[in-house]
Structure 1
Amino acid sequence: MGTAGRRAEAADSAAARGARAGRAAWEASDRDIPAARGERHRHGGRAGAAYEGGPEQRPVYRPLWIEEPARRRRMPDPVREAAVRAVLIIALTLIQAVVAFLCTLAGSWLAFPMVISGVASTVVATWAALDVWVTRQVWKQRNGVVSTPSSTARALRRERRRARREARAAERAQERIRRQGGAGRLSHP
């Protein structure tokens, strides 16, 4: 291993040490525990920074967030749009219901119109919730479901394709015999 290899290895190990120190400081600061390696706010450092060694070392900053893989796949766009629309309509309906209830308690003249419009908006909110379900079903029907190799539908399609291939091959063989006019047969009828 040459000098360049040793330098790269030393840089990698220093980066790894810095990452470990930053991670330890970040975990410690989340639990209000003093940082395990190095102290924070020492030598004029910024908040959230941890020092690996003395004042000549650069501070290690904790990341703002840590990326995690998504647990579930993202909803299709039409379904997500319907869901957002439904949530907004349902939220407005609930606000309207609370206002109608408070107007009723206060004996305000606005109570009756609010109750009537609350009934109407409840119908609209129910439609919005059903719209999410219908949009999801339509999307599934148009775009299909994920088929696995053991799927019955896939096996049936495979059988049908094989039967069609065999039928085409037999038809081509018959056509070839007709074109040859029976030549090549051992006996003629």
Structure 2
Amino acid sequence: MGTAERREAPDDGGAAARLTVRQGPEAPDRDIPADRGEVLTGPDEKPMAYAQVTGSDKRERAQAQALDRPLWVEEPARRRRMPDPVRTAAVRAVLIIAVTLIQAMVAFLCTLAGSWLAFPMVLSSVAGTVVATWGALDVWVTRQVWNQRNGVVSTPASTARTLRRERRRERRQARTTERAQERIPGRGAGQLSHS
């Protein structure tokens, strides 16, 4: 059970009133109804009247609360998103491992049933195990390569530092050539000589 409270609705310019439900004391057991109905309170928080709530009112109120509640709540991620190449390798590895496990299960069941399909399925399961191992190693190698190229590594011989240094040098040279082209008059396209 709860209490209801009247408030002025801002949309209607104060002409209409809105009824808000506030939770009140509940019975200790859900099978036993509470003694009182809901308390209607005015804007000054003084009780106005007691009203008995029927089952349909409760259902309507529950449906209204369900409509007001957002579909989902955004939560901050606990871990950063994996880089795209690593994510692609991980998805590929998971799919290969899943297919290999299904092959192994089919091979086991065919062996129990004495089917002729048991031997080819065992061979394909062995090949699938090799490919699944390659897939798992591919995830690890891709992750290491991405960290080395793009990660912030503090070792002096880091490939990431060397690549960043080369990119900075190329950008500096491009800016220098652009400035030199702007400074020299008459060296634009379409002019061959000063005649």
TM-score, L = length of structure 1: 0.51
Q: Which has the higher helix share?
A: 1
Shift, 1:47, TM fit: 5.3
Structure 1 gap segments, 5+ residues each: 1-6, 8-17, 25-31, 51-58, 158-189
The one of 52, 57, 67 aligned to 1:42: 57
Task: State the AA in 1 paired with 2:115.
Answer: S
Equivalent of residue 77 in structure 1, options 69, 79, 84? 84
1:63 aligns with 2:70: yes
Offset of 1:112 from its aligned partner?
Answer: 0.2
Corresponding residue for residue 94 of structure 1: 101
Rounded Cα–Cα distance in structure 2 between residues aligned with 1:37 and 1:70: 43
Q: CA deviation at 1:48?
A: 3.1
Please give the TM-score of this superposition, normalised by the length of structure 2: 0.49
Alpha-carbon distance in 1 for matches of 2:110, 2:62: 50
Q: Which runs of 5+ in 2 are unaligned?
A: 1-9, 11-19, 24-29, 31-37, 41-52, 162-195
Richer in strand (by share): 2
- Identity between Structure 1 and Structure 2 (%): 73
Deviant stretches of 4+, over 6 Å? 36-40
Deviations 1:47-93 (A, max 9, x none): 5323xxxxxxxx96212211111110000000000000000000000
Q: 2:150 aligns with which of 120, 128, 143?
A: 143
Secondary structure of the 1:84 match is helix
Q: In structure 2, how many angstroms separate the alpha carbons of the residues matched to 1:81 and 1:117? A: 24
Q: CA 1:62–1:110 in structure 2 vs 1: closer, same or farther (change >3 Å)? A: same
